[in-house]
Chains A and B, each alone.
Chain A
Amino acid sequence: MLAEKVEELSGENLYACYQCGKCSAGCPMAEMMDFLPNQVILLILRGDEGVIDSKTPWICAQCYQCGTRCPKNVDITKIMEALRAIKLRKNIDHLKINKLKKLPQIAVVSATRKYTG
C-alpha cells in the first residue's frame, strides 16, 4: 500500500490533511510542479502510484515552507522525501550527470543526496 509506505518512511499522518491548500499556496516551486503538494497527498491516499513518477517530488527544494504553514502540522517536506526514497531504493537514480556544469560543492553534494540512492 502506497499510503502506508509513505507514512512509514515520512513519519507523517496523511489523514490529518484536510486539503486547505495552504501548503501549495506558499510553495515556491509550485508553478513548476505537475501536481501541487496538497494534490500529492490526495493521490497517495487514493493509491495512485503515478505520483511516484511525477515531477513534483524532484522539483521540491526541501525549503520547509509547506510544513511550517500547515494548520494541521503535516510536514510535506518529509512526504516528498518519502516519495523520492521509494524510487531511489529501487535503484533508479534521478540525476542526469551530463547536466553538471560549473557548480559549487554544496549544490553537487546536495543533488547527489537527493537524486541518487
Chain B
Amino acid sequence: MKIAYYPGCTLKTDAKNFENATINLFKKLGVELIELKKWYCCGTVYSLTKDNLMYRLAAIRNLIKAKEEGYDKITTLCSICYNTLKQANEMARNDREAMDKINSFMEEEIDYDGSVEIIHPLEILKNMEDKIRENVKKPLNKKYASYYGCLLLRPKNIAIDEFENPSIMERMLEACGGKLINFPLKNECCGSYTVVEDKNAVVERCYRIISNAKINGADAIITSCPLCHFNLSEIQEEIKKCYTTFTGLPVLYFTEVMLEALEG
C-alpha cells in the first residue's frame, strides 16, 4: 500500500527523528509513505477570523498540490499540520462562499472543492492492529502515558478519536506489548506556541502534565506532536529550577517506541 505524505516544516528539521521513525515503521508494516513533490508550510495554527481568508491559502494550496499530483488522500504527522489542513478542508467542504473567493483569487491553480481526505497516521495504524501484533519482535516492557494534547482532538469535527477520552494511541502501544497508565491530563494543552512569548506559562502547564503522568506510574510520556514534544522535554530543565523536587520523564514519539518493538 502507498499513501501520500505531507511533512510540514518541523518534520524536516527539529523532528527529523519522528519522520524517520514513522517512515520506517510504516515500511515494516508494508505501507510506503510518498512525500508530495511540492508542498509549502501550512501556516501552522489555523486562523480563526471570519473576514481574513488569506491566512487559509497556504493550507488550501497544499491540498491542491496533493490533488494535482493525483491523490485523494494524504497523511500528515505533526498535530498542528493535521489540525490546520483538516480545518481548511472542512471549510472547503462546507463554506461555498469562502471557497469561491479563494478559488477566484488563486488563478494559477485548479479549483479546490475539499475532495482530498486528510488522515492521521494513528487512524491508518488503527486498521492494522493485528498486523502490528504479529510483527512485534521485542514487546515493550515499560509503562507509558500517552499524551494527545489539543489539536488531534479539537474542535470536535476534526477529532481523530473521542475528544474527551481518546484511546487510539494507547491501543497501538498495547498492541506492541506496552502497559498504559491512566492519565487524566492526556488531552490538556501543554501551552503550545505561548512558549515563545511566556515561557513560565509553559513551565506551569508541563509541570502539571508530567507530574500527573508520574504520580500515575508512567516511565515515559508518548506524544505525536513536535511542539508538545519540545515543550514537554526541553522545558524540564526550567521546571527543575522552579520545583526543586521535580525529576522529569523521557518524552518519545509514538512511532519511535512502536518501531523499537517491531525491530526487536
User: Are A and B bound to each other?
Assistant: yes
Mark A residues whose CB is within 8 Å of B: 8-11, 28-29, 31-32, 58-59, 61-65, 67-68, 75, 77-78, 81-82, 85, 94-96, 99-100, 102-111, 113-115
Provide the residues of chain A in CB contact with B9, threshold 8 Å. Answer: 105-106, 109
Q: Which of A59, A99, A100 makes the CB contact (< 8 A) with B201?
A: A59
A61 close to B197 (CB less than 8 A)? no
Question: Measuring CB to CB, which residues of chain B are less than 8 angstroms from any residue of chain A?
Answer: 8-10, 13-15, 41, 43-52, 55, 78, 80, 149-151, 154-156, 163, 188-189, 191-201, 204-205, 226-227, 230, 234
- Identify which of A10, A58, A68 contacts B156 (C-beta below 8 A): A68
Whole-angstrom distance between the Cβ of B217 and the nearest chain A Cβ: 23
B198 touching A59, Cβ below 8 Å: yes
Complex alpha-carbon distance, A115 and B198, angstroms: 12
B189 contacts A110, C-beta separation under 8 Å: no
Sample 24 A-B pairs with CB under 8 A, ordered by A number: A8-B51, A10-B49, A11-B50, A29-B189, A29-B194, A62-B45, A62-B48, A63-B189, A67-B154, A67-B155, A68-B154, A77-B155, A78-B48, A95-B197, A99-B197, A104-B227, A105-B9, A106-B10, A106-B14, A108-B196, A110-B45, A110-B80, A111-B197, A113-B45
A41 CA to B147 CA, complexed, in Å: 31
